[in-house]
């Protein structure tokens, strides 16, 4: 293209760019303006395809691309772009995405030019389809276009960033305002802002709520606030406001009373901060908080009233022992006039030096360690020696609060208690010695009583044996009689067999002398005659029966003797595991002669667990009850013996069909020496001893009886525990 045409095209392009910028300034669309500029450049250069792409910076350093315009048809439109347009756009986007700064391309087929502003690449322009191709002179002509497009893209980017920043800022401001509103509405403290120039006041809900008012019920002015203040507090507040002239005051704090809607006064802690000042440096805006301290103030008043009633002296004492302050409700225990206390040193107290040093040591420890310290000391007073207790608690880095109490009465009480304790100790030692002596006497008496009781039981046992002696002798005499009779018969049988045995011995001697010699017929005939004369066949048949009867008799005698020995023996010290059924069977053998002529004995023995007991004592109980049952039957009757287990107990019932007992007799039944038998026939100790035996075994014995209907004795004994059985 000749230079004149290039210059003319450049001027025309500049005019179009200026027109488009003017349209944009009047409120045009930046994207539309860029499309128009691209169209004008294509028309000025004679290009058939053009593409304008914006370089998008990414957070990770990689570049992105956004197509602003693609002509003759936008690739995103409905019309399908040409092959040339697609290739051009692809090259331009690749140019944008390159991490390196590529130079402009001006080839015969297309032209790719970067849009750079202040060294920053903001976009890329691509042209293609110009007849005759592209050269460097054409690039110079397009410089105004490139500068305008770059500035427009950068400006649009800045506008977007500013718009997004403003949007973010508005969102943050809205969130902050909402958070502030939530904080203000939900604070426990009343918050207020006071404009000292207009006297307008802003408060939150809590400020009004603590006084019983709702939003809008009070006029938001300083005068309204002063009207709610207690007159004394309002004056003090006005004086505080006057101090705002001083520039060195930035915060204030005071307690005041405000009138509640119900008419009561509420104590409020007010804290104020200066947040703005005018040109003269005076406070113009205050921000404050109100905290309801009514409960605390009432508590302080009650505490003050309580402290006033306490007999203690309260001091503030420095680390060197100097009194700094005091709270004294009475002067009884003061040794120094009250007006001289401040500045007085405790080393000057009328106290022994050893106690002064002790107090100073505790004072130093309380300040260093912060631990409560307690020290006691005596002081000589006109009325005598007094004792005091000082409690030290650190209240500042170099001082303590000391609470002093007169403990003279306590010390005197402690001394009296000590003397009483010594007296009590002497009495206690004397009593212990007395108790020890009496315990030894009681132990000896108990041992003697146990020995006497054992003797009594043995005596009763022997008495029972004495009463049963004739019967036992009869029981032994019967088997002895027929054993002796059988032995006499056996003696006769042996005499009859002796000749036959002598002949047999003669036969055996002859055979031994001549084993091969035949037996003499006359010897065989002699032995046959002896066999028939002695009736040996009968003897051989009767002898086993005689022996068996004799053995049965001796076994019966052995059983009776063993039962007697078991009954008569003295108990060992330790209890034994016993089968009650076996003890009952053994006892029946002993007393059988007392029973068999007067009654029929029916047994109903159930399975029983072992019982831990003294077997001879239990056998004696059974003997007493069985003999009494037999003696209660006048002519002929029945004794029923039943054993069973009920829970953890072994139960033994002995019932008779005798004459029974009256209620009067039942009431005295277990009384020692009580008997219904004629004189000389009973000791009156049987049932008493039986009752004592069962009681010592942690059991019990019950009686059921009516006159003419017999009696039933029920014995209950605890079964042995499983570990005792093992």
Tell me the per-residue pLDDT of 683-697, one tens digit each, with 9 for 90 and over: 566 777 788 888 888
Residue 417 lies in a domain: no
- pLDDT the model gives residue 78: 43
What pLDDT does residue 718 have? 92
Could you tell me if residue 566 is inside a domain?
no
Range with lowest mean pLDDT among 272-276, 541-545, 721-725: 721-725
Q: 8 and 85: one domain?
A: yes
- List of E strands, 175-296: 190-195, 200-203, 251-259, 265-277, 283-292
Per residue in 74-128, pLDDT (tens digit) is 444 444 567 777 777 887 777 777 766 667 777 677 888 888 887 778 888 888 8
Q: Which pLDDT band, with edges at 50, 70 and 90, does 364 fall under?
A: very high
pLDDT at residue 193, rounded to an integer: 86
Confidence (pLDDT) at 713: 92
593 close to 468: Cβ distance less than 8 angstroms: yes
Tell me what the pLDDT averaged over the chain comes to. 80
pLDDT band, residue 456 (cuts 50/70/90): low
- Count how many domains the chain has: 5
Q: Quick check: is 85 in a domain? A: yes
pLDDT at 669 over 90: no
What CATH number should be reported for the domain holding residue 240?
3.30.450.20
Q: Which of 246, 273, 298 is the last residue of a domain?
A: 298
For residues 227 and 362, membership in a common domain is answered with: no
Residue 429 belongs to a domain: no
Q: Please report the pLDDT score of residue 34 as a whole number.
A: 83
Quote the tokens at residue 195: 């404009």
The C-alpha atoms of residue 50 and residue 569 are separated, in whole angstroms, by: 138
Question: Does some domain include residue 641?
Answer: yes
Does the pLDDT at position 725 exceed 70? no
- Whether 195 and 69 share a structural domain: no
Say yes or no: 275 and 398 in one domain: no
For 416-442, the DSSP string reads HHHHHHHHHHHHHHHHHHHHHHHHHHH
- Only one residue has tokens 């330790």, namely 574
pLDDT digits (tens, 9 = 90+) for 312-360: 888 899 999 999 888 777 667 777 787 888 889 989 888 899 999 999 9
> Does residue 416 lie within any of the structural domains?
no
Helix or strand (DSSP H, E) at 458: helix 408-513
In a domain, 179, yes or no: no
pTM metric for this prediction? 0.33
Same domain, 697 and 594: yes
| Comparison of pLDDT for 280 and 472, the residue scoring more | 280
Query: Which pLDDT belongs to residue 74?
Result: 47
Looking at residue 678, its pLDDT comes to 59
Last residue of a domain, one of 248, 267, 298: 298
Question: What pLDDT digit, counting tens, does each position of 576-585 carry?
Answer: 888 989 888 8
- Per-residue pLDDT tens digits for 473-489: 655 666 676 677 777 77
Q: Domain with 582 in it: what CATH number?
A: 3.30.565.10
Residues 294 and 261 grouped into a single domain: yes
Same domain for 37 and 71: yes
- The answer to whether residue 419 is domain-embedded is no
Contact 268, 219 (CB under 8 A): no
Same domain membership, residue 360 and residue 244: no
Specify whether 491 is located in the same domain as 547: yes
Q: Residue 586 to residues 464, 564, 616, 651: CA-CA distances in angstroms? A: 15, 9, 11, 18
What share of the chain in percent tops pLDDT 70?
A: 82
Q: d(Cα 81, Cα 31) in Å, to the nearest integer? A: 20
Over 60: is that where the pLDDT of 247 sits?
Answer: no
Domain boundary among 275, 298, 321: 298
Residues 604 and 718 in one domain: yes
Residues 322 and 351 in one domain: yes
Query: In which residue are the tokens 């019966």 written?
Result: 556
- Position 299 scores a pLDDT of 82
Alpha-helical (H) ranges within 143-276 are 143-186, 205-209, 222-228, 231-242
**Beta carbons within 8 Å of 538's beta carbon, 6+ residues apart:** none
For 190-245, the pLDDT digits (tens) are: 888 888 888 888 888 788 888 888 888 888 888 888 888 888 887 776 766 666 55
Q: Do 642 and 580 fall into the same domain?
A: yes
**Residue 402: which domain range?**
310-406
Q: Is the pLDDT of residue 374 over 90?
A: yes
Judged against a pLDDT cut of 60, whether residue 48 lies above it is answered with yes
């Amino acid at each position: 293209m000749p230079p004149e045409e290039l210059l003319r095209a450049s001027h025309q392009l500049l005019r179009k760019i200026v027109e488009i910028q003017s349209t944009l300034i009047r409120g045009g669309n930046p994207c539309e303006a860029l499309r128009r500029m691209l169209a004008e450049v294509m028309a000025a250069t004679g290009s058939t395809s053009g593409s304008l792409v914006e370089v998008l910076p990414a957070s990770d350093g990689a570049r992105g691309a956004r197509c602003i315009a693609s002509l003759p048809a936008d690739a995103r439109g409905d019309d399908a772009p040409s092959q040339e347009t697609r290739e051009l756009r692809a090259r331009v986007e690749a140019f944008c995405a390159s991490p390196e700064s590529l130079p402009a391309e001006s080839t015969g087929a297309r032209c790719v030019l970067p849009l750079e502003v202040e060294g920053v690449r903001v976009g890329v322009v691509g042209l293609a389809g110009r007849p005759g191709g592209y050269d460097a002179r054409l690039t110079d002509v397009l410089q105004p276009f490139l500068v305008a497009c770059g500035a427009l893209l950068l400006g649009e980017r800045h506008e977007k960033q500013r718009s997004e920043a403003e949007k973010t800022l508005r969102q943050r401001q809205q969130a902050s305002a909402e958070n502030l509103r939530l904080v203000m509405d939900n604070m426990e403290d009343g918050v207020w802002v006071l404009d000292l120039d207009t006297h307008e006041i802003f408060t939150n809900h809590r400020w009004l709520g603590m006084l019983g008012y709702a939003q809008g019920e009070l006029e938001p002015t300083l005068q309204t606030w002063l009207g709610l203040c207690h007159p004394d507090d309002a004056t003090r507040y006005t004086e505080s406001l006057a101090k705002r002239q001083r520039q060195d005051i930035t915060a204030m704090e005071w307690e005041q009373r405000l009138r509640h809607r119900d008419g009561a006064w509420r104590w409020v802690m007010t804290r104020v901060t200066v947040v703005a000042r005018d040109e003269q440096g005076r406070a113009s805006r205050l921000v404050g908080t109100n905290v309801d301290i009514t409960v605390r103030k009432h508590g302080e008043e009650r505490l003050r009233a309580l402290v006033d009633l306490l007999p203690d002296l309260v001091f503030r004492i420095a680390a060197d022992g100097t009194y700094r302050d005091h709270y004294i409700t009475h002067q009884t225990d003061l040794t120094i006039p009250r007006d001289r206390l401040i500045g007085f040193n405790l080393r000057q107290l009328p106290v022994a030096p050893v106690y002064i040093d002790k107090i100073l040591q505790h004072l130093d420890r309380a300040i260093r360690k912060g631990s409560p310290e307690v020290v006691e000391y005596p002081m000589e007073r006109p009325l005598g020696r007094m004792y005091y207790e000082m409690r030290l608690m650190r209240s500042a880095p170099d001082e303590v609060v000391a609470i002093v109490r007169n403990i003279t009465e306590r010390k005197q009480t402690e001394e009296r208690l000590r003397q009483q304790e010594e007296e009590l100790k002497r009495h206690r030692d004397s009593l212990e010695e007395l108790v020890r002596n009496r315990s030894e006497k009681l132990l000896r008496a108990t041992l003697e009583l146990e020995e006497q009781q054992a003797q009594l039981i043995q005596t009763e046992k022997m008495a029972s044996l004495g009463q049963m002696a004739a019967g036992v002798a009869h029981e032994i005499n019967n088997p002895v009689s027929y054993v002796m009779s059988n032995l006499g018969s056996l003696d006769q049988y042996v005499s009859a067999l002796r000749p036959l045995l002598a002949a047999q011995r003669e036969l055996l001697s002859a055979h031994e002398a001549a084993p091969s010699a035949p037996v003499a017929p006359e010897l065989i005939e002699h032995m046959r005659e002896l066999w028939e004369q002695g009736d040996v066949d009968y003897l051989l048949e009767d002898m086993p029966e005689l022996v068996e009867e004799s053995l049965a008799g001796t076994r019966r005698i052995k059983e009776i003797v063993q039962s007697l020995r078991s009954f008569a023996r003295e108990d060992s010290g330790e209890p034994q595991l016993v089968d009650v059924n076996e003890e009952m069977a053994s006892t029946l053998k002993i007393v059988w002669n007392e029973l068999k002529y007067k009654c029929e004995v029916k047994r109903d023995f159930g399975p029983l667990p072992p019982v831990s007991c003294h077997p001879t004592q239990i056998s004696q109980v059974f003997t007493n009850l069985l003999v009494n049952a037999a003696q209660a039957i006048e002519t002929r009757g029945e004794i029923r013996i039943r054993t069973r287990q009920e829970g953890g107990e072994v139960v033994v019932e002995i019932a008779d069909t005798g004459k029974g007992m009256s209620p009067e007799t039942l009431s005295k039944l277990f009384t020692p020496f009580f008997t219904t038998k004629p004189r000389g026939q009973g000791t009156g100790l049987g049932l008493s001893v039986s009752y004592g035996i069962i009681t010592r075994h942690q059991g019990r014995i019950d009686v059921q009886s009516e006159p003419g209907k017999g009696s039933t004795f029920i014995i209950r004994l605890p079964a042995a525990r499983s570990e005792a059985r093992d």
